[in-house]
Structure 1
């Protein structure tokens, strides 16, 4: 992650309604939230005149113009980020030393005036208490509209990330996890359902395809290396062969050639887990596409064929019908089953079945359990107008709050699966990337500003262990933007306080 300047979904007015255009703005005061396990002290606040950092010019838009080429239609929509700011000189025009302590997972409303928009940069210097002067420094707003890694001073060894919401004058600080091995810090006895798990929707759909089909900017290999631990996979099954191919609804995921479940997906996951044995990956498998194969046939092929979960590959998978503890599944894949079973597979595991059962999946649901009770899902996806996106954002926040309310007391809550994705094939303003461009920043803001705060969520619930559950995203990693994934992973630090 590198400080993101989000347009806050919960804005704080920065200007007095009585002010005329010749009066200076009334600036909000800075709020600081420490979302790491390390106490920090704010030692100094310096103010500098700002210069803008030019951003990349221009952006490509998909249009309904009759002269649009098919190449233009299939390209992703790109947007230039807003330019960041840098200090114009090395000399601050103002400095004071607040010596404010910000303990782990606490929020402090300060009396520090926020930066004058577009004209000023504030440099904050934090220090680890009793560390011999180890310090961390960040400028807000920063040179990037995304997150910033704090500069380490005086031999400081830890890494911290800042996300700044300027319209809320809100700064969130979190540990910069090693995203390829972030589970390394979590103890073995915790059920995977109490973790905060980033996921992707239609995970392998990063290839050249219709814009309503493509949901991801990068491939599964890069997703895993960047912290994603839940993959949503849709598979076509035919009645007359055992080749399982990757699809999105009835469409192939690539217009440049068929992609296969074994060679183009499982291979990447196996390689990742072989190299990162502290990690686990949850894979949700669902039968879709034009093939005439049934769920019974699909399950039997997966179970028996050594190209999939059969033979030697069986050792790589956790297929018991329960939610495991992390220690049981490090280096392995957890099967989340979104298909029915034939009678023989129902007798697996002492008659309990095969895999975590999510076969009775509620369609287009706002918040509902699956039939087994092991999974609870928000998967409202039928967006008919761009204005409906706000309803989607509200539903996502509500399930985040409900997941965060749970407490681990020796049992296991269900897997909360929270889809941020939605689309409408017939409305270009509701294609996956356009929805993600609104939903993803709103979720970053919520996770930084409201998640884990008692009674500050949409339903006013009390805070429990603050797990986000499984948050299933579209279009993460676009132009190197992994802020949402980093924010989800960051909430696992709360579990370290219980160790």
Structure 2
């Protein structure tokens, strides 16, 4: 570790990053299914700490998947209408018996940034589960209900920002398509990459998201794909390229039917295979499950590479 990082450092670690540094040049701790930290199915839960605690401990990329309410509940516990999106993992709510709502997650992010205006948080939003959206219904809902009312709190350019452009802002990492007329004002377009990819280069972002960890031995394979992608990011970001790329490296994978391949077991397996030994300056967005383990050790290691 190039420097010792305290918990206080983690809450405002981007304060030390120059305004002219593109966020793609950073090592950014992220969480997979970030809000899945509550009582739920064992195969659904992915984190042991809630959103605000993650942010206070240095996480700067949140992965949020949403769906319309599962139940028609007139009291509003589960969402009164289709606009009140809830957070899910695959087909299942991330909290039982009542849901986590997208409004609540975003309010936590806004609250964190108000207290720590030197920081910026990338929020990935994706529709998942049983919904069948027509045309532009989903992007219109996200814009009208969630982004537009708080537009001053968002960085919505499609280009990768420098720190001076996005401090105190939520950067939208948009995992859904929009009409061409909206693409210049609706966040970073990350609407598609190949499923189960070991490396998919989409121009302004490059993804490793090999997730089919079907048996325990596949954790070794997953580890190698993570390490390979870390090396690609570090190599690219060590150059003076004028074409910034976000390297996004998902360390998650699971098999619903095999307890040895549930998120916590995969996360522990990757730790034992020492993926953090491959962290280095400019290794991109590293998206982890159970990121709080070992007193946030991997976050501290990632953040330290930026200095």
Alignment TM-score, normalising by the size of structure 2: 0.91
Aligned residues, how many? 296
Instruction: Note closer, same or farther for the CA distance 1:219–1:294 as it changes in structure 2 (3 Å cut).
Output: farther
SS in 2 for 1:488: helix
Displacement, 1:255? 1.4
- Of 300, 320, 324, the residue aligned with 2:140 is 300
Instruction: Note closer, same or farther for the CA distance 1:426–1:295 as it changes in structure 2 (3 Å cut).
Output: farther
Residues in 2 aligned to 1:294 and 1:195: alpha-carbon distance in whole angstroms = 37
Displacement, 1:440? 2.8
- Of 183, 190, 196, the residue aligned with 2:14 is 183
Residue ranges of structure 2 left out of the alignment (5+ in a row): 70-80
Displacement, 1:328? 0.4
Compare the two structures and name the one with the higher helix fraction.
2
Displacement, 1:413? 2.5
Instruction: Note closer, same or farther for the CA distance 1:251–1:176 as it changes in structure 2 (3 Å cut).
Output: closer
Displacement, 1:390? 0.4
Between 1:284-293 and 1:331-340, the stretch displaced more is 284-293
- Of 326, 337, 341, the residue aligned with 2:174 is 337
Whether 1:215 and 2:46 are equivalent positions in the alignment is yes
Q: How does 1:10-409 map to 2 (within 5 A)?
A: 35-36=2-3, 160=4, 178-237=9-68, 241-263=82-104, 265-294=105-134, 296-305=136-145, 308-311=146-149, 313-341=150-178, 343=179, 346-348=180-182, 352=184, 354-370=186-202, 373-406=203-236, 407=238, 409=240
Task: Answer yes or no: is the 8 Å Cα contact 2:31–2:289 preserved in 1.
Answer: yes
Task: Answer yes or no: is the 8 Å Cα contact 1:231–1:282 preserved in 2.
Answer: yes
Residues in 1 aligned to 2:286 and 2:244: alpha-carbon distance in whole angstroms = 16
Instruction: Note closer, same or farther for the CA distance 1:202–1:357 as it changes in structure 2 (3 Å cut).
Output: same
Compare the two structures and name the one with the higher strand fraction.
1
Kindly provide the CA deviation profile for residues 191-228 of structure 1, in whole angstroms up to 9, marking residues without a partner as x.
11001100000000001111110000110010000000
Residues in 2 aligned to 1:258 and 1:426: alpha-carbon distance in whole angstroms = 24
Taking CA–CA contacts closer than 8 Å with sequence separation of 6 or more, which of the two structures ends up with the larger relative contact order?
2
SS in 2 for 1:268: helix
Residues in 1 aligned to 2:37 and 2:135: alpha-carbon distance in whole angstroms = 26
SS in 2 for 1:247: strand
Counterpart in the other structure of 2:292:
477
Residues in 2 aligned to 1:317 and 1:408: alpha-carbon distance in whole angstroms = 29
Kindly provide the CA deviation profile for residues 48-85 of structure 1, in whole angstroms up to 9, marking residues without a partner as x.
xxxxxxxxxxxxxxxxxxxxxxxxxxxxxxxxxxxxxx
SS in 1 for 2:273: helix
Displacement, 1:353? 5.4
SS in 2 for 1:209: coil
CA RMSD of superposed structures (Å): 2.0
Instruction: Note closer, same or farther for the CA distance 1:286–1:386 as it changes in structure 2 (3 Å cut).
Output: same
Instruction: Note closer, same or farther for the CA distance 1:408–1:335 as it changes in structure 2 (3 Å cut).
Output: farther
- Of 251, 254, 275, the residue aligned with 1:420 is 251
Residues in 1 aligned to 2:242 and 2:209: alpha-carbon distance in whole angstroms = 25
Who wins on radius of gyration, i.e. which is larger?
1
Residues in 2 aligned to 1:289 and 1:268: alpha-carbon distance in whole angstroms = 24
Q: How does 1:437-452 map to 2 (within 5 A)?
A: 437-443=268-274, 445-447=276-278, 451-452=279-280
Kindly provide the CA deviation profile for residues 295-338 of structure 1, in whole angstroms up to 9, marking residues without a partner as x.
72111011112xx1112x00100111110111100000100011
Residue ranges of structure 1 left out of the alignment (5+ in a row): 1-33, 37-159, 162-174, 453-465, 494-499
Residues in 2 aligned to 1:290 and 1:357: alpha-carbon distance in whole angstroms = 23
Residues in 2 aligned to 1:302 and 1:445: alpha-carbon distance in whole angstroms = 35
Residues in 2 aligned to 1:249 and 1:357: alpha-carbon distance in whole angstroms = 22
Residues in 2 aligned to 1:340 and 1:365: alpha-carbon distance in whole angstroms = 19
